[in-house]
Amino acid sequence: MKILVVEDEPQLASSLQRFLEQEGHLVELASKLAMALHMVDNQFDIIILDLNLPDGNGLEVLRKVKNQNVNTGIIIVSARDSLDNKIEGLELGADDYLTKPFQLAELNARLKSIIRRVHFKGDDTIVFNELKIHPDTLKVMVNDETVDLTKREFDLLLYFISNKNRVLTKTGIGEHMSKDFMDYGYTDDFIYTHIKNLKKKLIKAGCGDYIKNIYGVGYRFTDSE
């Protein structure tokens, strides 16, 4: 993937670059808004976007990219106090957001799910044993029977399957899920309830119990013990 990192803190920018390059991506850096606006004339697969930039608001980059009508995945990274900006960013079409400070593993989990979407073309289907997911129609099948999921359960399943065999923290799952509704109203209970309902629906349809609880940490989607 070709990734643009828009970030004015040099240390964070270079640690992101190092990490993403290790993951096999091609990375370019922009430390200022003007620079980023110029660079997005070339297409990137993914943009990691800080909002607080020395010469303006990173949302400008988001606006420009969305006007270009290209299929670029955008993840906002910003400080906890810029909730309004985050909400506006998601309304403008960002794929996800991550609150600073964050773990690189958490960023990677979000990226995996965006890469799924960006890579996704036409009638591609995600298959995991007896489970089939059609991201464009939000359809889920178990052994060729349709499973009715809510939009949020679907999103959760896609997030899990994009990160199979990785441990996902409750905090990360909660933040990822809360992007669909405009507040910080997620709690451990809220996450637990959605995951429980998703598990129940899948198992009832004859699917394996793949969503494993990792006690005190979070969850892992896997077909091994």
Instruction: Give the 3-state secondary structure of residue 94.
Output: coil
- Work out how close the CB of 79 gets to Ca ion at its nearest, in angstroms, rounded to a whole number: 8
Instruction: Give the 3-state secondary structure of residue 29.
Output: strand
Distinct helix (H) and strand (E) counts, the chain:
8, 14
C-beta atoms surrounding 184 within 10 Å: 12
Amino acid at 1: M
Q: Is 58 in the site for Ca ion (CB under 5 A)?
A: no
CA pair distance 110, 177, nearest whole angstrom: 11
Q: Please choose, out of 4-12, 97-105, 146-154, 157-165, the segment that lies near Ca ion by the rule CB under 5 A.
A: 4-12
- Work out how close the CB of 171 gets to Ca ion at its nearest, in angstroms, rounded to a whole number: 22
**Angle of the 83-91 helix axis to the 59-68 helix axis, nearest 10:** 0
Q: Please choose, out of 43-51, 114-122, 170-178, 181-189, the segment that lies near Ca ion by the rule CB under 5 A.
A: 43-51
Q: Is 222 in the site for Ca ion (CB under 5 A)?
A: no
| The one among 50, 95, 96, 155 contacting Ca ion by CB under 5 A | 50
Tokens, residue 28: 């370019």
- Work out how close the CB of 12 gets to Ca ion at its nearest, in angstroms, rounded to a whole number: 8
Q: Is 8 in the site for Ca ion (CB under 5 A)?
A: yes
78 vs 162 by CB, closer to Ca ion: 78
DSSP for 75-88 reads EEEE-TT-HHHHHH
| The one among 2, 19, 35, 52 contacting Ca ion by CB under 5 A | 52
Q: Is 175 in the site for Ca ion (CB under 5 A)?
A: no
Residues at the interface with Ca ion (CB under 5 A): 8, 50, 52
